Amino acid sequence: ANILQRAAVSLPRYQDAIGNFVRSFHANGKVPANVNSASFVTINDHLQTLDTDLTNLRSSIAKEVAVASASEFNSTRSLMAGLAALLAGTLVALFITGTQLLKARIEIQLFIKKRKEDLGAIREEKMSLVQTNNILTNLASTDQLTGLSNRTGGDELLERYFKAAVLMHSGLSLLLIDVDNFKEYNDTFGHLAGDEALVSVAEVMKSMLRTDDQAIRFGGEEFVIVLPFCDEQAAVKVAER
């Protein structure tokens, strides 16, 4: 009687708990905050214990019936029939509860798996967007012919170096360079030869610069070299070199 009473009290409670979870899960599309894997493990352990007790009870009833005399069996037949009916109903309720629990746990596992897959896809997409953005930023600030910073990138470099010079009270020098007779060279030998000349000039500049110096193609055949931490005398030496 104690076992059956415990089952009668606990099984509806477990069914309600699992049902509430499933309804909340379907309504909100996420695992309720008060439900975790430990909750289902606890319910599952209780169901297994209850299943063992009911199985033992069924065996006990069968043994009592087997050893009872005719008079004993007749006098307790109604009691045994009632117990057997209660036991059968309880076993059915236990099976239904176990099935509900299994279904709910499967839904959680599938949800968590999909959530991880979605997060992984979002992370990959974000990394791809960052890489694409870096490439676009680099293209927007780089002169495609010479590989030097272009006017846009140069403006950003100048602003950054100027702020650093003010903050650190350090020198900052600029070299403004124009390729002599470039128009005549272009007209005589053609634009492809002119492009090759600009590339050669850019390579010479890059080979002569210090680590922190920056060369900029300002436009056409005009170049700017930014010399941070460099006073006038040092800038003249760099220009002559």
C-alpha separations of 61 from 48, 77, 182 in Å: 20, 11, 110
Whole-angstrom Cα Rg for the chain: 42
Quickly tell me which residue has 């009911």 as its tokens: 54
Is residue 167 helix, strand or coil?
A: helix
Q: Which of 50, 39, 48 is nearest to 3 (CA)?
A: 50
Angle at 142 between CA 141 and CA 148, to 5 degrees: 130
221 is catalytic: yes
Question: Which residue out of 107, 117, 196, 221 is catalytically annotated?
Answer: 221
Q: Which of 114, 123, 96, 94 is nearest to 31 (CA)?
A: 114
C-alpha separations of 156 from 177, 210, 226 in Å: 19, 19, 12
> CA 87 to CA 172: how far, in whole Å?
92
Is residue 150 helix, strand or coil?
A: coil
Strand runs labelled E in the chain: 172-178, 214-219, 222-228
Report the catalytic residues.
221
